[in-house]
């Protein structure tokens, strides 16, 4: 009799877990990085490259916050075939899902010469800045999501980039002003 109760409990527990994970109001439904990666994989029938190495890099960043970076997710698709056009609705669909979830578009570009599409989306989360970057080229794609503490990034840039401004122009100050505008 104890064994039957245990089996029934196990079946009910698994059914409840499945129902929660399939619901649209769960945290998994709002993972825009995962949605973009899945959309690229299913639409273009491609697979990620260097998945283990990039996962390890994300784990290292999670514990060692270099330059104020708190979280890093990267998906690379190398040596693939993406049939890209200027008015490719599939790419716009990928970015529109993220915009619906509160991301603000910062950059959207298309190069007729190379066929490259670029999207940079940003979102404020408390005192942190989250960036979602999508880059699609005819033979590769990259999706990057990074969460940064702007104050620590500014300090990191002051300590490490400040001495090189004379050699590299004002690019560092442009990045610093962008970080300051999101505070």
51 and 131, same domain (yes or no): yes
78 and 167, same domain (yes or no): no
pLDDT tens digits, residue range 71-93? Answer: 899 999 998 887 765 556 677 77
| Inside any domain, residue 66 | yes
44 and 107, same domain (yes or no): yes
pLDDT tens digits, residue range 104-115? Answer: 999 888 888 887
Can you give the residue range of the structural domain that contains 177?
149-183
- Give the per-residue pLDDT at 132: 93
DSSP per-residue letters across 99-158: HHTTPEEEEEEE-TTT--EEEEEEEEETTEEEEEEEEE-SS-EEEEEEEE-HHHHHHHHH
CA dihedral 86, 91, 92, 94 (to 10 degrees): -170
| Inside any domain, residue 25 | no
Q: Does pLDDT of 54 surpass 50?
A: yes
pLDDT tens digits, residue range 128-155? Answer: 999 999 998 888 999 999 999 888 888 8
Using a cut of 0.85, tell me whether the model's pTM lies above it. Answer: no
171 Cβ contact list (under 8 Å, min separation 6): none
Q: How many domains does the chain have?
A: 2
| Inside any domain, residue 50 | yes
Q: Which residue has the higher pLDDT, 109 or 166?
A: 109
């Amino acid at each position: 009799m104890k064994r039957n109760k245990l089996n029934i409990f196990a079946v009910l527990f698994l059914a409840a877990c499945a129902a929660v994970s399939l619901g649209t109001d769960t945290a998994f439904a709002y993972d825009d990085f995962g949605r973009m990666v899945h959309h690229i994989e299913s639409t273009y029938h491609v697979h990620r490259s260097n998945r283990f190495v990039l996962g390890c890099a994300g784990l290292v960043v999670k514990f060692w916050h270099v330059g104020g970076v708190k979280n890093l997710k990267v998906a690379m698709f190398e040596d693939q075939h993406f049939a890209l056009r200027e008015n490719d609705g599939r790419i716009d669909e990928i970015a529109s899902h993220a915009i619906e979830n509160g991301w603000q578009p910062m950059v959207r570009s298309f190069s007729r010469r190379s066929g490259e599409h670029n999207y940079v989306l940003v979102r404020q989360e408390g005192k942190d800045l989250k960036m979602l970057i999508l880059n699609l080229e005819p033979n590769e794609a990259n999706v990057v999501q990074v969460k940064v503490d702007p104050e620590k990034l500014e300090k990191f840039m002051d300590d490490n980039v400040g001495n090189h401004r004379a050699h590299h122009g004002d690019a560092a100050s442009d990045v610093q002003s962008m970080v300051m505008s999101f505070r």
